[in-house]
Structure 1
Amino acid sequence: MEKQILKPSLAVLAALTCTLPAVAQTAEEPKAITPYADIRYRLELIGQDGLPENATASTLRVRAGFKTREWSGFSALVEGDAIARVGPRHYNDTVNGLTAYPIVADPSDVLLNQAWLRYKPVKEVEAVLGRQAVNFDNQRWIGSVGWRQNDQTLDAARVTIKPMKGVSVDYGYAWRVNRIFGPDSPQGIWRDNNIHMVRANFEAKPVGTVTTYGYFLDLPDAPLSSSKTIGVRLAGEQKLSSKAKLLYAAEYAYQRDLGSNPRNFSLDYLLVEPGISLGAVTVKAGWEQLEGNGVSALQTPLATLHAFNGWADKFLSTPANGLRDLYADVAVKLPAVGQIKGASAQLQYHDYNSTRGGLNYGSELEAMLAVPIDKHLTATLKFARYNADDFATDTTKFWFSLDLKL
């Protein structure tokens, strides 16, 4: 299967490699069709207590597509992925049955990632219909999970209206969720959904951006995740000096059961995240709470979950007793070394506890180094170590990846 996948992947790459230089020569002219490609190689290593084997996942994703220019307000995008295993089959990709290994949710596949039609009759109105990657705000509630080799996309219709400067309103309706596990997985596609997404952004100068939202998810294939969530978020910054800025974010949401969910609950979400940026260094502290009542907990099933509550991915589903994540984050823009410019490093620490029952789940230490080798190629090293106490097991993860954008 992988050989069959890899051949079309390389054929697509070769075709695009030949096409792109010709496009660049006429970059000043509007092009009817613009092709592009995004190739990512990743090595992922996992050691997880409680499983007899360690995981080694070496995977390659070739993503290629094209965009059209606008014609009478209409434009389109079509994008496909080919994901292949490159190396030994020493990991559980969720469909290969290798349950003795830790999970690396990157199964081999060839699939349509996005295909949508956009209509933009005026700059204040935009409508998009089709399979699309949807990312709202910090992706805590709705995101495309760009970390994994296969995106999470929605078959949806969306409308965005900007009635005045600094104000935008979004409404979306989605009937299908194409999850990262791929169509061969029993949990890879959620069908026949009734998903409504309402969101409004207001630039409240000089305080920051205020976002109000309502996400109504009726998910027949995941009834325990069916919910309605209404919330408000504030994010902003204040200049302290020529090099220093005060950063802040705060968010509150209220979640209740909806539709096919057999349980009754009423749960809160709370985030407070102050920070400071001083030259090349940014320091943040955070307190995030997802409430649980011992039976049900606040869930965010359409989020980019890898970006929250630790890169070890121990809390992709909120435990029934809830989750309180106290964390610190330090990010540094590194000085140029020869031709290498724009490198950055990041260090995070998390302390996890329950919101009910006084449980100390554990802690996590994480580090990342991203190095842009040139304007097309970026290398990334990433590490996470979860130390378990009252939840899950000790887990160590290491990643090396190369991202090439053409």
Structure 2
Amino acid sequence: MSFSKLTACSLAALCACTTFSTAFADVADSGLHAALSQTKPILDLRLRYEGVDQDGFADNADALTYRLRAGLQTGEFLGTSFLVEFDHIGDIVDDFNSTTNGKTMYPVVPDPEATELNRLQLTNKSFPDTAITLGRQRVILDDSRFVGNVGWRQNEQTFDGLRVQNDSIGKLKLDFTYLNQVNRIFGDESAMGRWEGDVWLANASYPTPFGSLTGFGYLLDIDDAGGTMSSETYGVRLAGARELGEGKLSYAASYANQKDYGSSPFDYSADYYLIEGDYSFGAVSLGAGYEVLGGDDQRGFQTPLATLHKFQGWADKFLVTPVGGVEDIYAKAGYKVGDVGPLSGVSIAAIYHDFSADEGGSDYGSELDLSASGTWDKVKLTLKFADYQSDGFASDTQKIWLQLDFAL
């Protein structure tokens, strides 16, 4: 079913409300008025500079882009609320390859110009402990390692489909989603801006004394890209936190197995492993982790619906997992500085990654990521830097970002 059909179904359901009896009309009118009076605007402004110095390119990329996001969300009428939201992405300095502007002499900064519908959804909460969302929507599961909105890019990733969330069985939380289109960060004008197919997402979590235990199964049968992004993934994740000494220990562990599925041209099986820990005390936090996306003779473990920028280094060298897989050993540190001049909530962080192949053990390279952020009135300022040093995989790359965010 296409998005237009989904939208038509949602509009038909909304129009059906007009068949209520005259006796109920006054109550309905009152409820509709209340829903409209509770409507809230959505306004989000972002301005960002991104510079890229990458070996193999004579020219550095300089991208000064902006995003205007606007829309509204109503209150509930007959248990149903409505949300609509549009994005406009433009550039002020365009010395970069946006993936659609043809400037291939520059490194890629995947923030092409676009004006498009970001979200259009109906959410119904009529059933006890249940939320049903139909339409174009944002879906983020767990830490977004497998399914996320790629919120770092100017044009976020959204999904067309039906999502059902339920927590009526004690403390068990169930989340089931069917998607027929993925609206990717590259926009309408890109050949890779939309993926169509049948995507089924199942996620169930339950609190235990050791943390939240989650089981998941993600079936992706994607028609585009020659079916190469089709797969079935089943896994489990445990994430928790507890007081330890003078501080707090946060931890996560996960395992998943992935195989070919649907239209995939491959015949493979690959594993995923994660173990991570963070300890915070006062203004200081320290952490380390070990993440493996396994390799196979034909295919590495892929997470095509993930918020990939969040993982394996901000230089984005492993957006597609190599056939040999990726082993990422990383350490991180953070410090909450506090107020500095007109800025409040200033914090700084550093992450170091060492990358190698899962199969064969060859070195890929290393990366240092640095960040600083703070808030001035209603504006959040973010400064980030990434330095990837190749040891045989991809190319040496340095990236820098300066970003300003404002939201109502």
State the TM-score, normalized to the length of structure 1.
0.90
> 4+ residue runs of structure 1 moved beyond 6 angstroms?
none
Encode CA deviations 1:262-301: one digit per residue, 9 max, x unaligned.
1101110000102211112121100000011242100000
Distance 2:338 2:116 in 1: 40
Encode CA deviations 1:356-396: one digit per residue, 9 max, x unaligned.
1221000000100011112x211110000000012000000
1:340 aligns with 2:343: yes
Residue 30 of structure 1 deviates from its aligned partner by 8.5
Q: Which residue is 2:304 aligned to?
A: 301
Gaps of 5+ in 2: 1-34
1:126 aligns with 2:128: no
Distance 2:334 2:78 in 1: 44
Partner letter of residue 298 of structure 1? Answer: F
Partner letter of residue 344 of structure 1? Answer: S
Output aligned runs, 1:22-171, within 5 Å: 31-87=37-93, 89-122=94-127, 124-171=129-176
Encode CA deviations 1:44-102: one digit per residue, 9 max, x unaligned.
00000012211000001000010000111100110000111112x21000011111110
Alpha carbons of structure 1 residues 344 and 231: separation in structure 2 relative to 1, 3 Å:
same
Q: Which residue is 2:206 aligned to?
A: 202
1:226 aligns with 2:258: no
Alpha carbons of structure 1 residues 33 and 231: separation in structure 2 relative to 1, 3 Å:
same
Alpha carbons of structure 1 residues 123 and 65: separation in structure 2 relative to 1, 3 Å:
farther
Partner letter of residue 114 of structure 1? Answer: R
Q: Which residue is 2:240 aligned to?
A: 236
Partner letter of residue 212 of structure 1? Answer: G
Q: Is the 8 A contact 2:128 2:168 kept in 1?
A: no
Partner letter of residue 229 of structure 2? Answer: S
Partner letter of residue 53 of structure 1? Answer: D
Encode CA deviations 1:312-342: one digit per residue, 9 max, x unaligned.
0000000111000000111221122355321
Give secondary structure in 1 for the equivalent of 2:174: strand
Quote the RMSD (CA, aligned, Å): 1.4
Residue 164 of structure 1 deviates from its aligned partner by 3.6
Residue 31 of structure 1 deviates from its aligned partner by 3.1
Give secondary structure in 1 for the equivalent of 2:118: strand
Q: Which residue is 2:381 aligned to?
A: 379
Gaps of 5+ in 1: 1-28
Residue 32 of structure 1 deviates from its aligned partner by 3.2
Residue 33 of structure 1 deviates from its aligned partner by 1.6
Q: Which residue is 1:394 aligned to?
A: 396
Encode CA deviations 1:100-141: one digit per residue, 9 max, x unaligned.
110000001110000000000145111000001110110000
Give secondary structure in 2 for the equivalent of 1:69: coil
Q: Is the 8 A contact 1:141 1:302 kept in 2?
A: yes
Q: Is the 8 A contact 1:294 1:356 kept in 2?
A: no
Q: Is the 8 A contact 1:268 1:290 kept in 2?
A: yes
Distance 1:248 1:160 in 2: 25
Distance 1:234 1:289 in 2: 16
Encode CA deviations 1:140-185: one digit per residue, 9 max, x unaligned.
0000000000011100100001024432101000000100000101
Give secondary structure in 2 for the equivalent of 1:402: strand
1:317 aligns with 2:320: yes
Distance 1:340 1:32 in 2: 33
Partner letter of residue 343 of structure 1? Answer: V
Q: Is the 8 A contact 2:165 2:174 kept in 1?
A: yes
Distance 2:36 2:250 in 1: 40
Q: Is the 8 A contact 1:42 1:60 kept in 2?
A: yes
Q: Is the 8 A contact 2:231 2:264 kept in 1?
A: yes
Distance 1:31 1:332 in 2: 43
Give secondary structure in 1 for the equivalent of 2:228: helix
Output aligned runs, 1:251-290, within 5 Å: 251-290=254-293
Q: Which residue is 1:180 aligned to?
A: 185
